[in-house]
Amino acid sequence: MSSRLADDPAAPEAPATSETPEHFDVIVVGAGISGISAGYHLGERRADRSYLVLEARDDLGGTWDLFRYPGIRSDSDMYTLGFRFYPWSGDQAIADGDAILSYLHDTVQRFGIDRHIRFGHQVRRARWDSERAQWEVEAVERSTGRALRFTCGFLFMCSGYYAYEQGHTPEFEGIERFAGQVVHPQQWTDDIDVAGKRVVVIGSGATAVTLVPALAGIAAHVTMLQRSPSYVVSLPAIDTLARGLHRVLPDAWAHGVVRWRNVLRGTVMYALSRRAPGVVKRLLKRGVRQALGPDYDVDTHFSPRYDPWDQRLCVVPDGDLFEAIASGQASVVTDHIECFTEQGLRLRSGQELPADVVVTATGLQMRLLGGIELWVDGEVIDPAEHVAYKAMMLSDVPNLALTFGYTNASWTLKADLTSEYVCRLLDHMERAGYRQAVPRRHDASVSEVPFVGLSSGYVQRAKSLMPKQGTRAPWRLRQSYLFDLLALRHGAVDDPEMELS
């Protein structure tokens, strides 16, 4: 495992004036998990390839730097959420946000990626010029408001899939007359005090099932108020197999075994959910009954109307949510909100739910490409009018890739494969003397379908913003790490649907 040297000649110099654009081979937008993966692969594969990472925030980490709500943790195991090139070495299979952020800082320092990141640089738009075969990227230095321009041969979008400014909060009738505090988890700050208070968490997704047990030992009582249930599964916080293997095998071997065990287990679980949803539904409900006892109303509170993996499964380490419910410190109410009152919420059933603090864990606002305005040869690009090529490039848009991780597995698995493919494509273009790579959909028989197949609210709200996918490769989005491993790491980069010139 190699790392970049401190005197790396490819590391970016001080910012230029807006009149003199700096040029880089590749510009990466975003310094979260995806951007860090991109930086590693770009730097380690070709030390002479210049790249720059532009990050709008003042620190790296993306999601893990933004969210500060109590109990924040990974929603997938760290042996697959960690990078393949720098394995996670902690004991926690489900890690807390601070541990993940520390791991990401360690990664960028170890491999010299930090020397390529410029923080506080908000990218506003990018314009492609076919005659020059390059992108002109316009950014703003947030601390000064200074406009900056950069140029690059390839633009790599690693900015995630949701808006950082605010989450999604539905319009609740009467919310203005509520005497207590209302907060969205995306805007959680350290001065929010729930000690001894009655807390209602609205929602049933990953954020809600994380917040409830975290607040249960502090608040007087926590109620998870859900309109409809989600599937919740308990997994061990500590992977005993991983701990045992690390004692008897070299770290790289132990990590490889555990990582592939988890990949294959997740693949089998997803495939079984698709082919025999009734079986998986019964297994998941049985797990909840074992945790909460035979008298708990599992059918009302933990039996969704949809099939498993129509939405993501919610993971609770060591069943902490179920422990909070069983102890009486937390409870679940399944009902619709009629309105807020001065003292809490009135539900459609007529029940009054008193509250001092209401947490609206009601989802994200999806945003593709970080909200950046794209132009190609003077025409604005609407991603929704394009089809995704290998789930990472847009039809008819040259020299641009984006990272969009798995919805049924760890985001990092797909981020690493996407970075590897982009580097393979760049290497091929350089060897053959090509300057432009444009996916073209030549087969008119390929139909268009939604890019993401989940029924989750945040996905459905964003359908009009997302590109489409096709019904056949290379336009089809496959939620399969095994398939992508073959196609992206080993498959050809000059297939008939990729126009190189």
What six digits make up the tokens of 244? 């045992």
Strand 373-376 and strand 221-226: pairing? unpaired
Is residue 411 within 8 A of residue 405, CB to CB? The reply is yes
State the pLDDT confidence band at 471, using cuts at 50, 70 and 90.
confident
Averaged pLDDT, 58-78: 94
pLDDT at 3 over 60: no
Q: Which long-range contacts (CB under 8 A, 24 or more apart) does 191-196 make?
A: 192/357, 194/218, 194/219, 194/356, 194/357, 195/219, 196/220
Closest CA to 194 of 212, 168, 220, 173: 220
Q: How far, CA to CA in Å, does 34 sit from each of 45, 164, 236, 419, 477?
A: 16, 16, 26, 8, 18
**Nearest one of 139, 117, 90 to 36, comparing CA atoms:** 117
Q: Residue 41's Cα: distance from chain center in Å?
A: 19
The CATH number of the domain covering residues in 175-360: 3.50.50.60
Most trustworthy range by pLDDT among 11-25, 41-55, 244-258: 41-55
Mean per-residue pLDDT for 331-359? 97
Give me the pLDDT at residue 365, please.
83
Predicted local confidence at residue 176, as pLDDT? 95
Of 397, 402, 400, 398, nearest in space to 381 by CA: 397
pLDDT value at position 20? 83
The count of residues in the chain is 501
DSSP one-letter code for 238: B
pLDDT class of 468 with cuts at 50, 70, 90: confident
What are residue 75's phi and psi, to 5 degrees?
A: -105, 15
Grade residue 351 by pLDDT with cuts at 50, 70 and 90.
very high
What is 22-164+366-442's CATH number, 3.40.50.150, 3.50.50.60, 2.60.40.1120, 3.80.10.10? 3.50.50.60
* pLDDT of res. 15: 46
Q: What is the pLDDT of residues 489-501, one digit of tens each?
A: 999 898 899 999 9
CB 356 within 8 A of CB 197: yes
Kindly report, as residue ranges, where domains of CATH 3.50.50.60 are found in the chain: 22-164+366-442, 175-360
Per-residue pLDDT at 459? 59
SS3 of 88-144: the string is CCCCECCCEHHHHHHHHHHHHHHCCHHHHEECCEEEEEEEEECCCCEEEEEEEECCC
